[in-house]
Structure 1
Amino acid sequence: MKSTQLRNPRRRILLKAAAGLGGIGLGACGLSLDALAQGAQQTSINLQLGWLPGNNQIGEVVAKQLGYYAQEGLDVQIQPGGPNIDGVAIVASGRFEVGQLASSPSLMLAVSQD
């Protein structure tokens, strides 16, 4: 068996993960464009972190502090995560609009259930 054949499943998982994360970003952009187009008030979005706030979430925290979300019509509430937080399950349940993952198994499980 060629080594490229061994990498295909892994590559597919990574591509699905990237597509899923890109979809979240596009969804957030769509929300902000709708808010601007309608001249509506800010859209509230709850972001569930996959772990405690740290260097991995610095972009989200800085964007909130500098008002980038507000400029796009978004009122983003960042919720800290922890060892037992599953961002996929929280978003799937409808409790939060956006979630981050602390581990790959949650993402793989969510993608496999398409």
Structure 2
Amino acid sequence: MAWIYILLGAVFEIGWAIGLKLSEGFTDPFFSALTVVSIGISFYFFTKALSMIDIGTGYAVFTGIGATGTALIGMMFLGDSGGAGKLFFIGLLIIGIIGLKFSNGSSEETQTE
């Protein structure tokens, strides 16, 4: 269940990171509110996950998914620069996230909510 919480938190992290861009310095009320709500939801799920898994692994996976998703969405929809080098390193980040997830299996607690 912890990994589902990490994933949900990371999705909302992507949302608030994109929201920061779209809020134009918190001058757009709609995107500003959406950003603040996304931050709250993101950290709610992240906090729940950290009660079940190691903080180092949890934080690395959480931020890695958030950074990867934000970078890809920025390149695809917001006009951020891309290129082979950037995509290569995003791929390395994804490999690292997967590696962390699978290397943590023996220390993950089996708590249920």
TM-score, normalization by structure 1:
0.31
Larger strand share, 1 or 2: 1
Q: Which has the larger radius of gyration?
A: 1
- Higher helix residue share: 2
Task: Provide TM-score, normalisation by structure 2.
Answer: 0.31
